[in-house]
Structure 1
Amino acid sequence: MTGEEREGVAAWAELLRLPALFTVPGDVLAGAATVPGRPGPHTLWAIASSVCLYEAGMALNDWADRAEDAAERPHRPLPSGRIRPTAALTAACALTATGLAFAARAGRPALAVAAPLAATVWAYDLGLKRTPAGPAAMATARALDLLLGAATVSGRVRPALSSATLLGTHTLAVTTVSRHETRGGSPLTALTALATTGALVLGLGRRCSGTEVSVGARQLPAYGHEPARPLRAALAVAYAATAARPYFHAVLNPSPPLTQKAVGGGVRATIPLQAALSARAGAPVSALITAALAPLAARFAKKVSVT
């Protein structure tokens, strides 16, 4: 590979925020854990769909922000000229179409969730993120991504609503902090995100009712919920440790660098949160698979920014 080709690959990795990609599969796995049944080939199609739609949002985000980035972040791939705006928009369209095609392969219920997910991604990038509804739209997209996993396995999403709410709340906090990361945030915003993290840790300690099945007159965990309790506790601690420290630093000094670190910490904390949600639903294998993505995300984050 020539130097020019390597530079091109690096530019696309930056545009697509490669480290953040590892926060995506855990959405589907956490959703699948909440419903009866086991993840199978259809779940892999759903994960592929989720990855494509997420990356479509990354490409579309930079295309929509190219004028703002030219003033505030001229080093980004589009304003720096390393990637043409038309190429980024084409990639966003192609990734969206591919994501929906993969969802169709996962089944009609999966497509029924993926379609509004794609619409939410485009609505956010093309307008909603500049309005007060922006963080809520991003939270909705993450919640829908988790519901995609539940719909793929069983065709039902109701058992996954509790987990989707917890994940969406975390995303709401991170997105709210990120709204002014280039100019610096406010101590109150970071403090609210810190408090939200504490509340979510408490929520992770509550039993996930969606995974219980009836056996005679008794209610039993569908996937061995009780043995997963120590794992759930460990993952909840990992989530709190990953998110809380940078939030606390941003509370003390909401400067642009520390606000950006708070956003990065919040993004990385998504992985242990997803893993904890899987463990909470009684799926330790899915939890461990998701948790294993964290070191990869951390490794790539040293080379490519997640924000």
Structure 2
Amino acid sequence: MSNSRIFAHLQLTRPANVVTAIADIMAGFAIAGMGAYLTGFSNEGGYLADLCWLALSTIGLYAGGVAFNDVFDADLDSVERPERPIPSGRATVKSASIMAFLLLLMGVVAAAQVTVTSAIIALTVAVLAVLYDYWGKHQNFLGPINMGLCRTFNLLLGISVIPELVQEYAFIGLIPLVFVAAITMISRGEVHGKNRKALFGGLAMYILIVASIVTLAFMLGGKPLEVLPFLLLFVYMVFPPLIKAIKKQEPKLIGKAVKAAVISLIILNASLSAAFAGWMYALLVLILLPISLWLARKFAVT
């Protein structure tokens, strides 16, 4: 396979977005009370190995899921986005499908190295991702929820390092669900624009997310002051581009708002991590941000 074809298949996996999925795992790891194993550089109990397996799992799940998205959108992209790998002929539907399936399989197998619960959650993420690619994205109401559930279960995948805590903290998964549902809703104007209702809906959901994290920091994490810097960075990243998009409703500005929100998933996870594991662990999560931004300059985010 030539270098150009390898690069094209790599494009299908949205590398910058994959990094945001790793942040989900790290946040779940913190919620499960495992933050000390990174900030204290201790591998007692083998939890660092578990974190690596879960990170590998989410890489496979996310990359496979978004690759299948381009497989199912091949005909539409040939009209609206002919520069993408499949319609441009740099990748084929067959090669992309094989790669996507193997990545999803890798995700489930890697999760199975941690706990049975992890494997079940990984399989759920894989099914939800393919369901969204094939059906969910065409549904005005259920589609954004479907996409949000992928992130919810991805966060739970991180928590599954301690299986008995998954059910106890499952409600925290509502935060990424609402945020990703908002992004999905906003992104529907990325090609044609003029989606004012969706943009205002996204704004309201963003405000709800900020309020929820503040509440969580006070009620459960007990570290509200450590959360504040990360939450302010989150607000700075997502609100200005969305407000600009609301004012003009231009596809280009909507695309920028979506891109900023996707990358800000890392900051959202850093905020959650700070609430449960403190600022030092949250900084480790935030290190993923410049990596994702660098990749976003080389690969498409949406």
**TM-score for both structures, normalised by structure 2:** 0.90
Matched, 1:70 2:78: yes
More deviation in 291-300 or 28-37?
A: 28-37
Letter in 2 for 1:7: S
For residues 184 and 191 of structure 1, the distance between their equivalents in structure 2, rounded to whole angstroms, comes to: 13
1:193-208 aligned at under 5 Å gives the runs 193-208=202-217
Distance 1:93 1:115, change over 3 A: same
Corresponding residue of 1:13: 10
SS in structure 2 opposite 1:168?
Answer: helix
Matched, 1:299 2:294: yes
- Which sections of structure 2, spanning at least 5 residues, go unmatched? 38-46
More deviation in 276-285 or 77-86?
A: 276-285
Identity %: 27
Corresponding residue of 1:250: 245
For residues 59 and 219 of structure 2, the distance between their equivalents in structure 1, rounded to whole angstroms, comes to: 25
Deviation (angstroms), 1:239: 0.9
For residues 238 and 9 of structure 1, the distance between their equivalents in structure 2, rounded to whole angstroms, comes to: 35
Considering only aligned residues, what root-mean-square deviation do their CA atoms show, in Å? 1.9
Deviation (angstroms), 1:169: 0.7
For residues 285 and 107 of structure 1, the distance between their equivalents in structure 2, rounded to whole angstroms, comes to: 27
For residues 131 and 20 of structure 1, the distance between their equivalents in structure 2, rounded to whole angstroms, comes to: 23
Deviations 1:236-278 (A, max 9, x none): 0111111111111110111211111111111011110011011
* Preserved contact between residue 217 and residue 227 of structure 2 (Cα < 8 Å): no
1:268-287 aligned at under 5 Å gives the runs 268-287=263-282
For residues 230 and 131 of structure 2, the distance between their equivalents in structure 1, rounded to whole angstroms, comes to: 33
Matched, 1:167 2:176: yes
SS in structure 1 opposite 2:235?
Answer: helix
Q: Alignment length, in residue pairs?
A: 290
Deviation (angstroms), 1:159: 3.3
For residues 145 and 277 of structure 2, the distance between their equivalents in structure 1, rounded to whole angstroms, comes to: 28
For residues 232 and 218 of structure 2, the distance between their equivalents in structure 1, rounded to whole angstroms, comes to: 22
Deviations 1:57-111 (A, max 9, x none): 1110000000000000000000000111101000111011111100111111111
Deviations 1:14-40 (A, max 9, x none): 211111111011111111222244543
Distance 1:75 1:286, change over 3 A: same
> Structure 1 or 2: larger helix share?
2
Matched, 1:151 2:151: no
Letter in 1 for 2:166: V
Deviation (angstroms), 1:5: 4.0
SS in structure 2 opposite 1:106?
Answer: coil
More deviation in 261-270 or 148-157?
A: 148-157
Runs ≥4 residues deviating over 6 A: none
For residues 234 and 302 of structure 1, the distance between their equivalents in structure 2, rounded to whole angstroms, comes to: 26
